[in-house]
């Protein structure tokens, strides 16, 4: 199976995701939909796209165990 290149997350996005993991890390899990709900509950994110990017990055970090 051929691997394709993924989208690069910018430094501010990565920084914000790490901050969210520090403050509410125990509530996040390896489930993308659940993480989107946690983001919606605790943070005001105006853009649906930004919420999805952050949710995906947090899911990826949780699955890696960081």
Model's pTM, two decimal places? 0.83
Q: Which residue segments constitute the domains of the chain, with CATH numbers given?
A: 11-64 (1.10.60.20)
Q: How far apart are CA 42 and CA 46, in angstroms?
A: 13
Residues 4-57: tens digit of each pLDDT: 777 888 999 999 999 999 999 899 999 999 999 999 999 999 999 999 999 999
Cα dist from 51 to 2, 19, 28, whole Å: 28, 14, 14
Tell me which residue of 42, 56, 47, 41 sits closest to 7, measured CA to CA. Answer: 56
Q: How far apart are CA 56 and CA 61, in angstroms?
A: 9
Phi and psi (nearest 5°) for 26? -70, -20
């Amino acid at each position: 199976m051929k691997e394709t290149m993924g989208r690069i997350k910018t430094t501010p996005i990565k920084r914000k995701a790490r901050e969210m993991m520090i403050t509410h890390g125990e509530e996040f899990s390896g489930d993308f939909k659940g993480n989107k709900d946690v983001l919606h509950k605790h943070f005001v994110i105006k853009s649906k796209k930004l919420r999805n990017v952050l949710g995906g990055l947090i899911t990826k970090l949780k699955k890696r165990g960081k």
